[in-house]
Structure 1
């Protein structure tokens, strides 16, 4: 019987973005509060009763938060243009060695209602 557990974190960060609409404001350095959620799906371990120890997942998310929080995302190695899609991939790649593996990464900005989901 599979279960899905989640861990959320947030970070405040700035970036620029080259785009065709809302172009002038996007090209200037501006910031957002981002929210991220990492999901792990799998069976309960018969010994621990857990899919994954959430303390371990929380620590990994905290390390990611430290890489992103109050940074200029344009300068984060391996991220590329700071789109919601690229943030999902960046987080998924950073957690690629997680066991069980992440099953979903979600990144959103509540202030403007934007979001992205990467199903793995």
Structure 2
């Protein structure tokens, strides 16, 4: 079974490696929508795969590192594309919750990435 939990955060960034004149080269912000997926078997006693509150407790401190921040100033996110933000989140969250199987990160309501590890 696959369980999911969603989070939102607001961050600013600029993409320093895109060509001059590209609209994303300038400072701008997004409201990101993050969906985390966890795979596992249902615990027969508890009746769930994982406790949603435990996921929140593990992930909230990671989100706090990037919420209302300039992502370019966060260690490891000097070129904060949606793809690299997803990998950064994966690396941090997977250390705390090994059952993480997929990340879906929306940069806008219609654009984002899905990352399943490498």
TM-score with structure 1 length normalisation?
0.86
- Work out whether residues 30 and 108 of structure 2, in 8 Å CA contact, stay in contact via their aligned partners in 1: no
Shift of residue 80 of structure 1? 3.7
Cα RMSD between the aligned structures? Answer: 1.8
Q: Matched residue pairs, number? A: 116
Q: Does 1:106 align with 2:107?
A: no
- Structure 2: gaps spanning 5 or more residues: none
Distance 1:53 1:78, change over 3 A: same
| Partner residue, 2:113 | 116
Shift of residue 26 of structure 1? 1.6
| Partner residue, 2:72 | 74
TM-score with structure 2 length normalisation?
0.87
Distance 2:95 2:26 in 1: 36
User: Alignment partner for residue 56 of structure 2, among 55, 58, 62?
Assistant: 58
Shift of residue 21 of structure 1? 8.4
